[in-house]
Amino acid sequence: MQIEKKYKYVITNYFTLNRMSGKTILVIGANKGWAPTPWATFIILRQLTLGIGLAIVQRLAVISSKDTIILGCRDKEKGLDAIQLLRAICNTKAHLDVVCIDIESEASVQAAAKEVREKHKRLDVLVNNAAIALLEKDADIRDVYGKVFASNVGGVISTCEAFLPLMRDTSADARIIQVSSARGSLTRIAEGKMPPARVVSYGASKAALNCATLELVRREENRNVLFQMVSPGHCRTDFNNNTGKKDPLDGALVVEKLLLEERDNGRPCGMWEIEGDNTEPQLVPW
Ligand SMILES: NC(=O)c1ccc[n+]([C@@H]2O[C@H](COP(=O)([O-])OP(=O)(O)OC[C@H]3O[C@@H](n4cnc5c(N)ncnc54)[C@H](OP(=O)(O)O)[C@@H]3O)[C@@H](O)[C@H]2O)c1
């Protein structure tokens, strides 16, 4: 099934490949991938588990040998293992590298921005995929909100601030994708279109991330940077103990679509999702 997806992807995107070519892309929170038997590709394809970050890297890594994709990970070894896993399961073309980054630590974020500037000299795309959710039952609610907002809002926005100077200096096609969530859609919550949340702080943090991102968009110095938010949908990952209904590769499709399309195609800044049979991104209401 994954092989089919890969070839379908290559064919449908044939004419847009050049648009990506030569880009340097940083995907933060891209280390999660697990296969029971790394030596047996056949078995891996059947039992592979990917986080959405690594699924995004998988989609982008097969496009062009001129691209560089940097996996932003808290633990470098896990990032290197993730690269090995990708090389075992698909025909990676892009140059793959790892940078250590913990978005909860300003020192770590600044060090990562410095390393990318010095080593890679440029950054075209930043995908902020890292996030946490903490169970609220029996926990200190102030503590939970403090941690979740520090990571999912403060951590992501300070990461944007740290990498934006490099992107503005070095890219003619700078794009930032915030991996948000339909759980942060106030309209869907108000209209009862989402089941009640088990972890309210998580959805609230994604609504706040959308709000803070829209303020970045309005800044004059960011006028040449494209910002988009995405909702990957309910994917089968560690995040929900693999209870999600969607393959993470399908969740990653919306990111790939937004990155491959022309930057001046008139798409407004919004939160986008791909659900059901329609493979075109649709707006999620705020
Ligand atoms: N799964 C879903 O159904 C779903 C639905 C809607 C939105 N999303 C969003 O999709 C994104 C990815 O979710 P996922 O399901 O793939 O989750 P996941 O499997 O738990 O992966 C989360 C990734 O973020 C990294 N991370 C967490 N905190 C970090 C930090 N402080 N610094 C750097 N990296 C950090 C984790 O690294 P470690 O291994 O070091 O922990 C991991 O690589 C998240 O933004 C999530 O909110 C997911």
Which atom of ligand 1 has the smallest separation from the CA of 51? Answer: 16
Using CA atoms, how far apart are residues 53 and 276, in angstroms rounded to an integer? 21
Q: Among 239, 245, 250, say which to mutate for ligand 1: greatest number of ligand atoms within 8 Å of CB.
A: 239
Instruction: Please give the DSSP secondary-structure letter assigned to residue 220.
Output: G
Instruction: Specify the pLDDT at position 40.
Output: 55
Residue 26's DSSP bridge partners are 70, 126
pLDDT in tens, 164-191: 999 999 999 999 999 999 999 999 999 9
Which atom of ligand 1 has the smallest separation from the CA of 238? Answer: 19
Instruction: Specify the pLDDT at position 35.
Output: 73
Distance 52 CA to ligand 1 centre (A): 7
Task: Check if the beta carbon of residue 3 is closer than 8 Å to that of residue 102.
Answer: no
Distance 129 CA to ligand 1 centre (A): 6
pLDDT in tens, 126-153: 999 999 999 988 899 999 999 999 999 9
pLDDT above 50 (res 1): no
CATH superfamily, with its number, for domain 2-284: NAD(P)-binding Rossmann-like Domain (3.40.50.720)
* Closest C-alpha among 216, 209, 286, 250 to residue 2: 250
